[in-house]
Structure 1
Amino acid sequence: MTVATARVEAARQHLHEAQARKRERIAEVREQLRLAEAGRGPKPNLGLFSFDETKGKEVSRARQRLARSEQALTAAQAAAGEKDLPTKRCRGGSKEPRSVRRQVRRNVTDPDSRLMSAADGGAVQGYNAQLAVASDGLVLVPELVQDANDLHQFQPMSTAAVQAALLVHQARCDEQCPSPGGCCITSAASLAEGRGQEASTRGCGQSACPCVQDWIGVLLLDNGYCTNENLTAPGPDRLIATGNSRDLPRPGEDLGLLPSDADARTRMTHRLASIDGATLYKRRAATVEPVNGHLKDRTGLRRFSRRGLAACQAELDFAALVLNLRKVLSLTPDERAAALTA
């Protein structure tokens, strides 16, 4: 019981510290807003930021930790003070007080789903939807996963995007691209398999060949994918944010000389600070975010109608297919003829 009491005290102290940090952050944001209104600085990007010190991911997690610690302390006190608690005979003949049995939470309507972090710092029961979107807004790969974060999704999604681009190119290109590696998409596939870049990104060089349009140039990803493994993994070139938008360097900001022994994260930060890198990364907000917004607000796909990973994946596939068809049907006849197979 002494250990459980100590954990409650530590969790309560952690909550106080998290709220203090939130109050400091609120004061910083208000000062930035005041300077912006006075014309002495840029307006901060608030996003989903709340000025309530009781809200936020860090505060919410600290509160959940305190609740779990208090629950464990209550169970320990009950076990120590009541020897005749109702018991349940477990397999093998052993008895365990109900108050101290481990509580396992299960979703009885969709066992495949998992708890996912919500934007307000809480949690929702669902799936993690991954989308690979082309620069023209077409969804190349819609994928549902059970992981609560995106750290392990970069490599499978980049490989799937390369394969999808290869299928598009094979349907569109009437020219006989030299092989091996003569086609730019083939080069992308080689990169995804770790064989290195084997050919020029100019494709077969024929003016009528859509190699250049089909080439996966640079992948743009948010900081949820930022790990050293993802930054250095084989595959197409990429720009991965190394922090939240407010933490990223401003375009053209002087970060000093890049050390020769700099790690992958530092190199990426310097690249994002360059004018070219910052300009290119801005395209992410105009590429994938409108698709996310369309699926959620226009299509209404904030909640799946079916249950189970396979059924929800089919629902996401169907929504992405409808979105792609609507984009194709909105093209002019000339644009449609150029985009579709001859």
Structure 2
Amino acid sequence: MSYRPYEPEQEMLLPASLQDWLPKGHLAYFIGDSVDALNLKAFYARYDGGGSRNQPFHPAMMVKVLIYGYATGVFSSRKMERRLHEDLAFRMLGAGNFPKHRTIRDFRALHLKELSDLFVQVVKLAQEMGLVKLGTVAIDGTKIKANASRHKAMSYERMQQAEIELKAQINALLERAKTADAAEADAPEVDIPAEIERREDRLKAITEARQRLEQRQREADIARGRSDDDDRRPRDDGGNPKGGRYKREFGVPEPKAQDNFTDPDSRIMKRAGGGFDASYNAQTAVDGAAHIIVAAELGNNAADVGQLVPMLQAVKDNTGMVPEQALADAGYRSESNFEALADSPTDLVVAMGREGKRCAEIDATAMPRTAAMAAKLQTEEGQTAYRKRKWIAEPPNGWIKSVLGLRQFSLRGLQRVQAEFKLVCLALNLRRMGTLSTA
């Protein structure tokens, strides 16, 4: 049998070009060219004044590697470091540079704001390519797990119990330290100062978590119209009792309310398949022309209703345009939202309830704009418009979770996670743009 030549030890006469090994139209080329077209002055500004002995890796190279990593589902700095040695596309973007994972991690942490700000530049680039029309925009939310262990969370009720237990243990250890003498010579040897310090640290962490829960509850109670002297009795606008009683004192959380020690900014949210996780609520506004995400925001409130107005404002801020039509599911329905957007040139279509379920009658006197929206959805025009929502809004969320594989954030803290989500969305946009540009 005659085979094609196979000489693993054969060295090349001339240096190989990585560009020759990647096929034309590869995503790495598109991301490299796109980053070169972006304004990276904010990245360079951090290194102004550095001398010849202070030579960091080139910011453009680091940005390309990070974005390509996120666009291909590689979020870990350790995996990026390994890919720079093993993956042709990473090696081509790195151009002979091999930053360690700590360098990649620190660059991302140091430039989180600059990286998230690139999202708007990518949206404008998509506009220039004709991929954003703003004829119809669909808004949707999805819950993404926080980088927080479910075993590092505690309920309000358990916090109160743990504080009492730890204070008793600390007092017992202090008493033992005072009376330690020959009478305890046969007792097991214990490093009492270290044990006291460990318990005090634990007590401090639990106390801070309890105070965070109480502060959130106070803010929620104030939003409901309560005050710290309401004597647990609901009152009307004039301050007069109107019957009934609140279950708990002002600012006291439910016994089952939880706080997480590893990421206190996260909140317990219900996941789609059942159960609960420490999560964040990610919001996207997707343009109907090419499924480009034109606004990406994130918060730690599980409800979507407060995000409709901010998301439409973000679309205008990012693109400089107002969409002709905006679609949203029933999670965004509220009289206050409809009132705030009453004078907007955008044609708003918001569902009244879950598909296939009959909606309760709406009091047109109390909620005139909600009643008007319900009437609009009964028309053929309204139904036709709303049918477009699912195939516009939901695919990008599916791509983020199933194609890129982002089911849990890498970073912790609300501001850091907000920036990471925008980095994910700009990477997905570039991936989508790259696909459409070679189609």
Could you tell me the TM-score, scaled by structure 2's length? 0.39
Q: Which has the larger radius of gyration?
A: 2
Larger RCO, structure (CA 8 Å, separation 6 or more):
2
TM-score, reference length from structure 1: 0.49
